[in-house]
Amino acid sequence: MKKLKSSLTNMLVVLTVITIVAAGVLASVNAVTAPQIKKINEENLAAGIKAVMGSDDIQVSDPWEVDAFTAYDINDKQGNLLGKAVVTTENGFGGPLKVLVGFNTDGDILGYTVLEHAETPGLGAKAGEWFQDKIIGMNPGTNNFTVSKDGGEVDAITASTITSRAFLRAIQNAYDKIIAGQDVTSGATQQASAADMGTPDVIE
C-alpha cells in the first residue's frame, strides 16, 4: 500500500475521516446508553420523592412546571393529597445547586435531597446532610428561612455561607412559587452578586 504523501490536504482528509468515525462511535454508544441512563434517572427521582415525602406508600402525579420549577402532587393510596415535591435550582458557590424538597399541605418541609451540585468537596457539598436536622418541620412561609448570620433561623454550613444561602433560597423560592403561588425569580436566572450575599466570614 502506497504511503500517503505528507501534506496539509492529506492531513485534513485523515483528520476528517477520524472525526467522522469517532462521531459515529459516540452516537452509537449514546443510542445504547441513553435509555438506560434515563431509566436510572427516573428511578433515582422516584426514590428521592419517596425519601423527601417520608413515605413509600404514595402516588405521584405527572410532573407539572411553573417557570423553572418542576412539581409533583403527592397523594396517598386513597387519593388524599399529602403535599408536593418540588425540584428547584439556585446558583451556589461552584455552579447550579439542584434540590428536591417535599412539602406537606401546610407548606412544612418534610425532607429534601440534593440532586446535583458543583460545590467544594467537603464544604459546600455537605448541604446534602448538614440541614437535615435544621430545616425539617420548618415552614418557609412562617419561619425566617435565612442563615443566622443574616438574622435568620438556620445555621449555615461551616465555612460555606454562600452555599448555605443558595440552598435556603432554592427552597424558599420553591415554596413561594409552588406552595404560595407567588412570583419569584427562578434560580436558573438568579445570579446573586457579592453585594446581595454579603462577604462571608470564610469562603469555600
Residue 4, domain member (yes or no): no
Q: What percent of the chain has pLDDT over 70?
A: 84
Residue 138, domain member (yes or no): yes
Determine the distance from the C-alpha atom of residue 134 to the mean position of all C-alpha atoms in its chain, rounded to a whole number. Answer: 19
- The residues, any chain, with a CB within 8 Å of residue 67's CB and separated by 6 or more, are 177, 184, 186
Residue 18, domain member (yes or no): no
The pairing of strands 64-66 and 109-116 is: unpaired
- Predicted confidence band at 3 (pLDDT cuts at 50, 70, 90)? low
d(CA 123, CA 160): 6
Residue 28, domain member (yes or no): no
The three three-digit cell numbers of residue 167, written as one number: 440552598
Residue 75, domain member (yes or no): yes
How confident is the model over 126-144, as a mean pLDDT? 94
Q: What is the 3-state secondary structure (H, E, C) of the chain?
A: CCCCCCCHHHHHHHHHHHHHHHHHHHHHHHHHHHHHHHHHHHHHHHHHHHHHHCCCCCEECCCEEECCEEEEEEECCCCCEEEEEEEEEEECCCCEEEEEEEEECCCCEEEEEEEECCCCCCCHHHHHHHCHHHHCCCCCCCCCCCEHHHCCCECCCCCCHHHHHHHHHHHHHHHHHHHCCCCCCCCCCCCCCHHHHCCCCCCC
Domain of residue 67 covers 57-197
| Average of per-residue pLDDT values in the chain | 84
Whole-angstrom distance between the N-terminal and C-terminal Cα of the chain? 60
Q: What percent of the chain has pLDDT over 90?
A: 59
How confident is the model over 173-188, as a mean pLDDT? 80
Determine the distance from the C-alpha atom of residue 85 to the mean position of all C-alpha atoms in its chain, rounded to a whole number. Answer: 13
The three three-digit cell numbers of residue 26, written as one number: 459516540
- The residues, any chain, with a CB within 8 Å of residue 88's CB and separated by 6 or more, are 68, 69, 98, 99, 100, 101, 170, 171, 173, 174, 187
Residue 30, domain member (yes or no): no
Residue 166, domain member (yes or no): yes
Q: Is the pLDDT of residue 200 over 60?
A: no
The number of domains in the chain is 1
Tens of pLDDT along 42-89?
788 889 999 999 999 999 999 999 999 999 999 999 999 999 999 999
Tens of pLDDT along 139-176?
999 999 999 999 999 999 988 999 999 999 999 999 99
How confident is the model over 15-39, as a mean pLDDT? 75
Residue 2, domain member (yes or no): no
d(CA 119, CA 20): 36
